Amino acid sequence: MQASDIAAIAEEVAAASEVSPAQQETAARLSALLGHLFLYDRGNQLRVIEESGLSMTQCKALLELGGLGRSTEARQVSELAETFGVSVPSMSRAVDALVKEGLATRIEDPEDRRARRVAITTKGKQLVETLVVIRQAGMEAFTATLSVPQRRKLDAAVDALMDREDIAETYAQLKEVGPA
């Protein structure tokens, strides 16, 4: 990714970000928490991604195919590209690499025999499960450091967010993929 691409993304995000000062403060606090959690376990999840040799686009596609997005159904490359806001050729190269590594496979689209869909393989599912287990272990290690009152407050906040269909759906999918 070139610096001009990064600047364009930053401008796009900033332009779409019309929030109140209170919302900005909540976002900043949530950002601090997530940043802390992401690196809490010495960045084990990042280390596994790095050692897998996957690019970020490849990793996002694999996680999406592995059920951490909408579903584990095979997807067209164009769907994956749209999901992550990348070009179809870029996603196609990412998928080619996943196929070459045995993490995904291309299958015939049952509705259009000329089209191909991308599906995760057993090896790909194992990598996704490893990432989920590592992230879960990091979260468990963090929650073990909380006092009982802190954990109760966190539980109450998370419970309130489970009313959102998108979060509840992601939680259900994570429970299917790995321990949660």
**pLDDT tens sequence across 72-114:** 788 999 999 999 989 999 999 999 999 999 999 999 888 877 7
Burial of 136 (0-12, 13-18, 19+ CB in 10 A): middle
Q: Which domains does the chain have, with CATH numbers?
A: 41-177 (1.10.10.10)
**pLDDT tens sequence across 54-72:** 999 999 999 999 877 556 7
Rounded Cα gap, residues 51 and 114, in angstroms = 35
C-alpha 54 chain-centroid distance: 14
Rounded Cα gap, residues 119 and 62, in angstroms = 9
- Looking at residue 127, what is its pLDDT? 93
Task: Give yes or no for residue 173 having a pLDDT over 80.
Answer: no
- The pTM of the full predicted model, rounded to 2 decimals, is 0.78
**pLDDT tens sequence across 103-162:** 999 998 888 777 789 999 999 999 998 988 898 899 999 999 999 999 999 999 999 999
